[in-house]
Structure 1
């Protein structure tokens, strides 16, 4: 959690019928939405703290009570998008017929696309603006990519009819392809049908997993 930690007894205080913890959660949510809107349309480098405060309808003092700066907010936005997307994919995988790797792959890819690619602001925050901010942010981005690769590898290995038990670098290769394809599809004016992209990425994942048998 970023921002100042509440002092003893702070969370229990009430103002206007709402606890301080609830009020702070609301402020963070408003700054988060302001960041998604501005970083996702204007771009991180062009957004000032004052602009974020104006968009959120809050003060600079309130901003700095929650975040150390715009990079801190960007990091939280990136993490929230990643978590939301992971939860959507996990739900889709659980609901799919886990005896059929092809069905699972299609369900996972569809969930990923629907979670990310339907909002151009999320696409820009996740795939464009997060890059080049700082060395710390770049390490965080790479760690997020590696987490997704590990997640994909674990899902494939856990399926009853999985053709392999480890796809490690294959998973990393797939995540790179996934990001590139989804970003291009989400930002193109003329693009193929969503089902074609799901088929393309699902087939890539299945081939990467199956190739383990021959190595």
Structure 2
């Protein structure tokens, strides 16, 4: 006997997940079209087709909605990067180009996601802190993948690895923000190619410095 009822083959937990997803989808629509000031409980519930009690079932504030949406996009981005890295050609440039392409496409194929990730992420103190932690997490991912790719696993941890990974990820965030705001007059393909050049240059130089 199960501990929860099912309706139409869907458990209570699954229904709650569906409602949470619907609210986050509504938040993405509102942020993409109208901005953070329009992200109200009433607007979210209208967009999701739910009454307000289901909002409070999942969230206790607007910041909680923003944080959950930000984390969802970050998880999608990390998944796309890892999939691209692990299925790309074995060359340094092949892997870097594939990963950068995947990441930039996640954030630019749907402009609403770029707005949340790169603009709304600085809307509140909590989200600014979350952004810093997320950039650090992606820098750690880049560092770990670089160590593995260049065969540096037996080397002593070197601060240059963390420094370069943080520099690359932080620089890419700022560059992508400027590009999205129209401050860098280049195509998306050019942006990907130039970003790949920088990642390869710093990665190859780091490996040459740290290899015995």
TM-score (norm 1): 0.85
- Kindly indicate whether residue 152 of structure 2 is the aligned counterpart of residue 152 of structure 1: no
Gaps (5+ residues) in structure 2? none
Q: 2:67 aligns with which of 72, 75, 98?
A: 75
- Which has more helix, going by share of residues? 2
CA drift at 1:214: 5.0
Q: Greater shift after overlay, 74-83 or 203-212?
A: 203-212
1:109 and 1:202 in contact (8 A); partners too = yes
Q: Which residue of 1 aligns with 2:189?
A: 195
TM-score (norm 2): 0.86
1:76-109, CA deviations, whole angstroms, 9 ceiling, x for partnerless residues? 11111011111111111111123x1111111111
Q: Partners in 2 of 1:142 and 1:77 — Cα distance?
A: 16
Q: Which residue of 2 aligns with 1:3?
A: none
Q: Partners in 2 of 1:148 and 1:17 — Cα distance?
A: 38
1:117 and 1:183 in contact (8 A); partners too = no
Q: Which residue of 2 aligns with 1:4?
A: none
Q: 1:101 aligns with which of 62, 74, 92?
A: 92
Pair 1:202–1:161, CA change in 2 (3 A)? farther
Q: Partners in 2 of 1:211 and 1:205 — Cα distance?
A: 10
- Kindly indicate whether residue 122 of structure 2 is the aligned counterpart of residue 127 of structure 1: no
Kindly tell me the number of residue pairs found equivalent between the two proteins.
Answer: 203
Q: Partners in 2 of 1:155 and 1:35 — Cα distance?
A: 33
Q: 1:28 aligns with which of 20, 44, 47?
A: 20
CA drift at 1:146: 0.2
Q: Which residue of 1 aligns with 2:201?
A: 207
Q: Partners in 1 of 2:110 and 2:181 — Cα distance?
A: 10
Gaps (5+ residues) in structure 1? 1-7
